[in-house]
Structure 1
Amino acid sequence: MCDRATISGRFEEMAGRDPAKTAVADEQGSLTYDEVRRASADIASALREVAAATDRLVAVRAGRTRFAPVALLGVLRSGRGYVPIDPEHPTERRLFVRDDCGARLVVTDAALEADEVPLGKAGRFTVAARPPARGDLCWPVSPETAYVIHTSGSTGTPKGCVVRHAQVTALLDACGQVLDLRPADVWAVSHSFSFDFSVWELWGALTTGGTALIVPRSAGTDPAALVALLDAAGVTVLSQTPSIFGFLAKEVLRSGHPLPRLRYVVLGGEAIRPEDLAGWFDAGAAPHVRIVNMYGITETTVHVTWTLLDAGAVRAARADRTPVGVPLPHLAVSLRDAAGREVADGEAGEIWVSGSGVSDGYLGRPELTRERFVVDAATGVRHYRSGDWAVRDGAGRLHYIGRTDDQVKIRGHRIELREIEAALLSLSGVRQAACSVRLNRAGQKVLSAHVVLREPDAPAPATVRAHLRALLPPYMVPHRLVRVSALPVNANGKLDRAALATTPALDWPTAG
């Protein structure tokens, strides 16, 4: 009997029902459920041969192909949790995530890092070991841990969030209650495996008997190619950040290329853009589609709330308030003031989330875990304090307002501005740095960095960009660099981010 309490157990159940069905596909080919089961069993066996009892986490560095899910599933089937590392991220970031999680073992189809030693092979994947780091660090995690995904950190370094199988299966069960998910569905897996949206896309498909289509990174920047791929593959479930969906919607309208098989578009990660959705509804390009807006957090296992968006809801949406609906069945949301007291309907409050999706906390960061994962003294219920603000209307529906701190979202990625600033300050010629978000001509959010340079060692813009690209993933590299004589401050002497946009720029080429 399959263990439905685990992701891998649910996959086994689907593989047993229809082993010959396509489980995963990419532009070069496909794998059946039985082929994925066999290949992942080989990886699990290879890991068991070399793993010690303390090897609770395994780093997975796999490219965007149909074989990547095999590696992730192989780690889960070995009884361990996976730590996804995007091979296209800069070397320093790849090594940081690998070493920060304390993983001694690595499964990869990419080149080994300079300090990794191969231990064995399993199909196209190499099982390797890295040397001890941080005094042979090995963070204690539950044996039920499914994965650790790193998010941007306010201290300048990413932090790993620990999620168990039960938290993922609770998400999948809850979404199954509010959405009509079918074994015939073809799910687009559009996001990096190091971004938690992929957890929903990949395991949503493979635990319901669907097909996971791995979307190549090139299609993510080419709306015409993405539309053609969605149509050719018969995608029925598509998850997108609103900004990327905006490009897709405009391409569908421009080309007149309909997507009649599309059943769900799941939006998440940032505020919706009503104008993009209004145009989509007016065109009727996907006559059978239901638009679902979901608010979610890595720390509470991907999705927290949901709401269906129709043309009327989109036109009624306020620019400063994104409708995010009601909590999924396995979660509860309360809105609190700075003292932790619940606020009345219509009043803004911080989103506190409780329920079976709330994760275990941050790997190796007990103080930060205690700060953000709090227990209500009156009820004994454990909550995650999101730092996001919302209001609840009289009908009980939530509307997202914004952040309480310096965290922003760009294309769905949570970004701590201070992490980018720390990367800028690590360059010797930079004396001060501050980042902000602005809108480009297309109305899309982009990052802007203002820097005060040290003379006479002031680096050129190209040097600054190269330095950032070596430290940060592409979505965290500022679109615009501005040189200023001083950063603006308020009456209390603190950085005034709002004034950055009007701070006079010094003569310094911004194209690098």
Structure 2
Amino acid sequence: MTETLHSEFLAQAVKNPDATAVCSDAGVLTYGELNERSRLLAERLTAVGAGPGVPVGICVERTPDLLVAVLATLRTGSCYLPLDPNYPADRLGFMVGDSGTGLLLTTPASRAACPPGPTVVVLGDTVTVEPGAEPAAVVPEDTAYIIYTSGSTGRPKGVAVHHGGCVAMLSEMDRALEGCDLSGVAAASSVCFDMSVMEIFNALCRGGTVVLVESAVHLAESRYADRITHLNVVPSVMNGLLDAGALPPNVRSVVFGGEALRRKLVDRTYRETTAERVYNAYGPTEGTVFCSFGPVPEGGTEEPTIGPPTTADRIHVLDGDLKPVPAGEPGELFLGGPKVAHGYVNRPQTTAERFLPDPFAGGDARMYRTGDLVAFTPSGELRFLGRTDHQVKLRGYRIELEEVEARLTACPEVREAAAAVRGNRLLGYVVPAGEGAAPDGPRLDAALQGAVTGRLAAELPDYMVPATLVFLPALPLGPGGKLDRAALPEPPAAGTGAPLTAASTPTEVALAEIWGQLLDLDPSGIDVQSAFYDLGGDSLLLVRLARLMTRRFERRVRVPDLFSFRDIASLARWLDDESGEAPEVVRSARARATARRAALRGRGGATGR
């Protein structure tokens, strides 16, 4: 009987040891190799104190070693705490200290990112393990992983998720995705987000291959892109991939989650890709990845719902008195059932506030208060209506605006602050501290902007650092004296304020035209020393930028190149300094998908929809 997150992987490794378990540009491992490497590492971890109830931090780059580390940790009975080596040191240090993590797994490449204090085990080191270091038995109640989410108190909080909830989640996925081709599952989500659990173990527990990529924007650049048959993706990311023609060519099924899904995108996905099935999923980290899940057919007239509740989950839609509301009426979603997490690590008060006794179930059952407003449709599906608080989702990332505001206000240069999302951008609104600190106009001077942004970048993941800081003489307040978020103004137009350094060389002029096209800006008003992100760009637009530059300059430009050269001036110098080779023909994934669908129609093949 499958009782733990990794049990089915172990069975698959015995049954199909020569099958490919994970492939990435950094290497490939079979099931047998992944099994043996994780077994040896588990023995090594056990020898230094890993076991049930002991969190192990995993600070590993996105290579097959990441899966070795996760599986080894689970095999010891420990829970894993994912630590992104690219996170700020303060953030990593807080997560390790707050969770009580005394043991870290890393690699030579990520060793420098590890916070000081815990015992560090480096993958690849030759170590002799004393006899008797046998990993302990693991039971469903044991915690499998701890994932930190943004916190409304200004500090992130760790959610402890147990093996039993993970097993129930994987069983639900079996039912929901029956008939889907899971032979190549893209793993593009950060391991610090619970979507990664579904991506990795959906494949490993079903005998499929995890196609590990750096992020969704790198999907088409992977040498194994053609192997991807199943993709989990955020709607805004999918729009960007489609705009750039950067979707892998053989995707058969797509699961959307993390943001509101629109009918227009569903139809576009069916029309412009090889996808035969589209699904919509919803769920908080505290409910083990998702709690509602359903197919979204092509050609509907209404906006998609977030699906029906899964079999394992108990969904309650309640009013302010915790009484059920009739179907069609809005209420707050409360989640019960076997997938509800243990709670927040070392946060007993917050756990008690959010994880309540479930009055609709017997015994000591609990339900999680999500803060999401929903309504049941007549057919029993759920329609998402909004939030009861200031939590937002931005490109799938869960952000508590209060945490961003707390970090802004903690800056000595700032007296008051607010945060808001406008479109696909996180904005910070600041009232500078000190007499005479207010600059002319709504843009902060460069020194002040740099100081505040630098402090935030040292404390927060990049997706939580505001794309733009807007100066206000005072925050807008409502009649009760509270912040009126709706009255926060739109950011000023790019290019206002400091003197402009205009494009002067032919390459700079060409780049300014491309940037203007992508960012909807006048090319003549773009400062060649302004970073792409500062002008409203994001990682999805970088994919399109790379494609447009490749065509314009007849030279292969990759997304990683654009992380190295962030403004027009540096990009132009790089392009002009390159001797260049024969232009590489880059055929878009969209073109390949269209050609394949045309071939299928030509020989009478069906798409399966």
TM-score range, shorter chain: 0.7 to 0.9
- Equivalences for residues 18-167 of structure 1 within 5 A: 18-51=16-49, 56-109=54-107, 110-112=110-112, 113=114, 115-116=116-117, 121-123=122-124, 144-167=142-165
Question: Does the 8 Å CA contact 2:82/2:191 hold for their aligned counterparts?
Answer: yes
Is 1:242 aligned to residue 239 of structure 2? no
**Distance between the aligned counterparts of 2:282 and 2:126, measured in 1?**
35
Is 1:316 aligned to residue 302 of structure 2? yes
- Equivalences for residues 205-354 of structure 1 within 5 A: 205-217=203-215, 220-221=216-217, 226-227=219-220, 229=222, 232-252=225-245, 259=249, 261-283=250-272, 285-286=273-274, 288-313=275-300, 315-317=301-303, 322-354=304-336
**Distance between the aligned counterparts of 1:125 and 1:243, measured in 2?**
44
How far did residue 417 of structure 1 move? 0.3
State the match for 1:421 in structure 2: 405
| Cα offsets for 1:157-213 (capped at 9, x unmatched) | 110001111100100001101212678611000111011110100111111111101
Aligned to 2:207, the other structure's residue is in SS state: coil
Aligned to 1:462, the other structure's residue is in SS state: helix
Name the amino acid aligned to 2:486: A
**Distance between the aligned counterparts of 1:336 and 1:487, measured in 2?**
34
Is 1:474 aligned to residue 462 of structure 2? yes
| Cα offsets for 1:336-369 (capped at 9, x unmatched) | 1111111111111111111111111111111111
Q: 1:151 and 1:295, CA in 2 relative to 1: closer, same or farther beyond 3 A?
A: same
Percent identity between the aligned chains?
37
- Structure 2: 5+ residue stretches without partners: 129-138, 438-446, 499-529, 535-609
State the match for 1:498 in structure 2: 486
Aligned to 1:327, the other structure's residue is in SS state: coil
| Cα offsets for 1:261-286 (capped at 9, x unmatched) | 32210100111133333323333x21
Equivalent pairs counted in the alignment come to 475
Name the amino acid aligned to 1:452: V
Is 1:463 aligned to residue 437 of structure 2? no
Name the amino acid aligned to 2:189: H
How far did residue 472 of structure 1 move? 0.6
Q: 1:126 and 1:333, CA in 2 relative to 1: closer, same or farther beyond 3 A?
A: farther
How far did residue 215 of structure 1 move? 1.0
Question: Does the 8 Å CA contact 2:413/2:448 hold for their aligned counterparts?
Answer: no
Aligned-pair RMSD on alpha carbons?
2.6
Q: 1:57 and 1:114, CA in 2 relative to 1: closer, same or farther beyond 3 A?
A: closer
Aligned pair partner of 1:430 in 409, 414, 428:
414
**Distance between the aligned counterparts of 2:223 and 2:486, measured in 1?**
40
How far did residue 9 of structure 1 move? 1.8
Q: 1:188 and 1:426, CA in 2 relative to 1: closer, same or farther beyond 3 A?
A: same
| Structure with the greater alpha carbon radius of gyration | 2
| Cα offsets for 1:445-492 (capped at 9, x unmatched) | 211111000135856111111111111101111112100000001000
Q: 1:177 and 1:467, CA in 2 relative to 1: closer, same or farther beyond 3 A?
A: same
Question: Does the 8 Å CA contact 2:181/2:229 hold for their aligned counterparts?
Answer: no
**Distance between the aligned counterparts of 1:195 and 1:471, measured in 2?**
18
Name the amino acid aligned to 2:18: A
Aligned to 2:488, the other structure's residue is in SS state: helix
Q: 1:495 and 1:13, CA in 2 relative to 1: closer, same or farther beyond 3 A?
A: same
Question: Does the 8 Å CA contact 1:250/1:276 hold for their aligned counterparts?
Answer: no
How far did residue 16 of structure 1 move? 0.5
Greater fraction of residues in strand:
1
State the match for 1:132 in structure 2: none
How far did residue 62 of structure 1 move? 0.8
Q: 1:457 and 1:189, CA in 2 relative to 1: closer, same or farther beyond 3 A?
A: farther
Q: 1:53 and 1:12, CA in 2 relative to 1: closer, same or farther beyond 3 A?
A: closer
Q: 1:152 and 1:422, CA in 2 relative to 1: closer, same or farther beyond 3 A?
A: same
Aligned to 1:270, the other structure's residue is in SS state: coil
Report the TM-score when normalising by structure 1.
0.87
**Distance between the aligned counterparts of 1:181 and 1:474, measured in 2?**
38
How far did residue 156 of structure 1 move? 0.6
Question: Does the 8 Å CA contact 2:405/2:418 hold for their aligned counterparts?
Answer: yes
| Cα offsets for 1:301-357 (capped at 9, x unmatched) | 0011112112323x421xxxx511101111121211111111111111111111111
Report the TM-score when normalising by structure 2.
0.74
Question: Does the 8 Å CA contact 2:180/2:252 hold for their aligned counterparts?
Answer: no
Q: 1:124 and 1:388, CA in 2 relative to 1: closer, same or farther beyond 3 A?
A: farther
